[in-house]
Structure 1
Amino acid sequence: MGAHRTARPARPDGEAPRLSVGFILARHFTLNAFANFVDVLRLAADEGDRSRPIRCEWSVLSDTMNPVASSSGVVVQPTERLGDPGKFDYVVVVGGLIGGSLDLSPACLRYLQQAAAAKVPLVGVCTGAFILHRAGLMDGYRCCVSWFHHTDFLEQFDGLQPVSDRIFIVDRDRLTCPGGASAAHLAAFLVERHIGKAPATKSLHIMMINGAEVGEAPQPSPILELDTGDQFVRKALLLVQQNLDAPISVGQIAEHLGIGKRRLERHFASALGSSPRSAFMDMRLSLARHMIENTDKSFAAIAVECGFSDSSHFSRMFRRRFASTPSDFRRARQPFGGSA
């Protein structure tokens, strides 16, 4: 990947940076994702905690140099105008809120297209993957998005199949991650690739993030109440979560994971002491319970969203699992008691 880069001036100590990153921040970008990514670079760039940009360098790019407000309201001042994208090893687009914030200026879009033409790898962080797709720069590439935005992605990009059961994906010269802690892990992957494993590990340890994760590691999810370190089981649970309204078979899940059905069943038995079918039913019922407690949606709507064939089937399975009907559960737990 180094062939495209233009020469960079040496540092005062004589060492040229081995990793150079340019950031483009979307309006209402996710501050946490940006901070995690750039802090890994900062901590890997120097010895100790001196933060001098020696082994890494980074710039926040802009066509106007106007401050950019994050989704939390904290403002970041760009440090460099758009120029030659070939000076960077990677150009990183940090997205944020779904909506108008995904629209970059024409100048920034041209810059990304120039970077792609120059074979500079492009990185989409958080909804940065959405921005790269809108710019026509992800055709034929796999793309990693948050499980939380999986449905949003499908609605906006018909025909594309995003991956939302991993923390990041590296597909040739496109790298994508869903934000949060995954941004730190993707940055650490780049640090290890260009500088070495020790600086990458040091950065994560200082940030109190447990060891570097590989891209195949599953995304965490608050709806997964079944605790297991088995990656096949976690990926299967995430896949089910993303398709709760249209349940898929154990065989289809095994095929998606690249293993046999019997092997997947053995993983579930070892990790959870249950069959995949039983674990999937627990997930659907847990989500239904969450919706009863926290929304005023009708039981019929909840049944559909959680993948039950009809309200009576939903009510029967809910009562078997929680020893209460959905209506009794709502009356006992939810102050405003939604309608059924």
Structure 2
Amino acid sequence: MTTNLKPITPAATVRLKIGFVLARSFTLSAFALFIDTLRLASDELDKSGRVRADWQVLGNTRHLIASSCGVQVAPTSGLVDPGQFDYIVIVGGLLKNEHPIDDETVAFLKKAAAKKVPLIGLCTGTFILAEAGLMAGHVVCVSWLHYQAFRERFPDLKVRSDRLFNLDRTRGSCAGGSSAADMAAHIVRLHISREAERNALEVLQIDRARSHLHVQPRKPLAIESNDPRLNAALIIMEQNTENTISIPELAASVGLSRRQLERLFMEKAKMSPAHVYRKFRLERAKRLLTQTDASLIEIALDVGFESAGHFSRMFAKTFGQSPRELRATLSK
């Protein structure tokens, strides 16, 4: 169904034009931070004029679109020619929604891709792009919270959860939350100016925008560190307890040699990376023991141990009881 919505006409000096596609149950905070960074960069102070930027919420009906918190947003434009936009941002939300956007909107995104319009998945908007087959050949950035779900649904795509956002040629992806403002600020800086970016951030009470290299603020195992390389390594460990990677591979993924990574862990975490990685694997094993009926050997193999015996010894050493004893206490 098409709509007769007429988009607001921007000023002739517009340097950046972005269209937003909102999924059903989209994340309001990510959308608001992105679009408000754009709004405040477009004009002086908080005047909000469409002077240097323009934005539209795109939809093929006049129906309000409900966010995950219940607040509803109305489209401001129909599914017009995607070639008029510098970017199209797909704002995702709750993953339990099996049909976050309709077929006509999917076709619109494919048309945009064919015209080489950069597409950005915001929050779980990356799932929508991947489902439409539009992320093949691109690196995907997702929140640590959604990493496992993404890997299970799209095992052939390259995904990482240790960065805030990523711009990979004609595709972009963002972990969501406050990092939406960081990604929007980066785009403003590229297309408008550093002064426009600074104005937006100051009005939003943000000291400075974080770069695409910034590590997601996740602290697995409650290990405190201000070293981004160690924090990134911890997130990668946490997300790879099933398909384990070697310590040299882990080191390379954060730009270090194995020896440098080991020194870093001993200095900051007081444990070797192998020891920390084993703790992650055993924590996953503990969850599987308490939440599934899988056998000990199945769990041992799942978390990277070669035998149930070795797994049981390491588990008892870490938690003070064997896997069988843990299950026995739960059945009482």
TM interval, shorter chain, is: 0.7 to 0.9
| 1:84-139 CA-partner distances (Å, limit 9, x unpaired) | 11221111111112244454222212221221222211111112112112222222
Q: Deviations over 1:120-175 (max 9, x none)?
A: 11111112112112222222111112222222222222322212221111111111
SS of residue paired to 2:176: coil
How do residues 1-340 of structure 1 correspond to structure 2 at under 5 angstroms? Answer: 11=11, 16-221=13-218, 223-284=220-281, 291=287, 300=296, 307=304, 313=310, 316-317=313-314, 320-321=317-318, 324-325=320-321, 338-339=330-331
TM, length-normalised to structure 1: 0.82
Query: Relative to structure 1, is the Cα distance of residues 53 and 100 closer, same or farther in structure 2, using a 3 angstrom cutoff?
Result: same
Moved more, 311-320 or 122-131: 311-320
Normalised by the length of structure 2, the TM-score is 0.84
1:55-94 per-residue CA deviation (whole Å, 9 max, x = no partner) reads: 2221111001211111222211111111111221111111
Aligned to 1:5: none
SS in 2 for 1:228: coil
CA distance in 2, matches of 1:205, 1:326: 54
Aligned length: 322
What is the Cα deviation at residue 10 of structure 1? Answer: 6.1
The 3-state SS of whatever aligns with 1:59 is: strand
Unaligned runs of 5+ in 2: 1-7
Go from structure 1 to structure 2 and tell me whether the alpha carbon gap of 1:246 and 1:174 turns closer, same or farther (over 3 Å shift): closer
Identity of aligned residues (%): 42
Amino acid in structure 2 at the alignment position of 1:186: M
What's 2:5 paired with? Answer: none
The residue identity in structure 1 corresponding to 2:204 is M
Gaps of 5+ in 1: 1-7, 332-336
Stretches (4+) displaced over 6 A: 301-305
Give CA-to-partner distance per residue, 1:202-232, whole Å, 9 cap, x none: 4334434452122122222253511212222
Counterpart in the other structure of 2:4: none
1-structure distance, mates of 2:16, 2:191: 6
Q: Deviation of residue 286 (structure 1)? A: 5.7
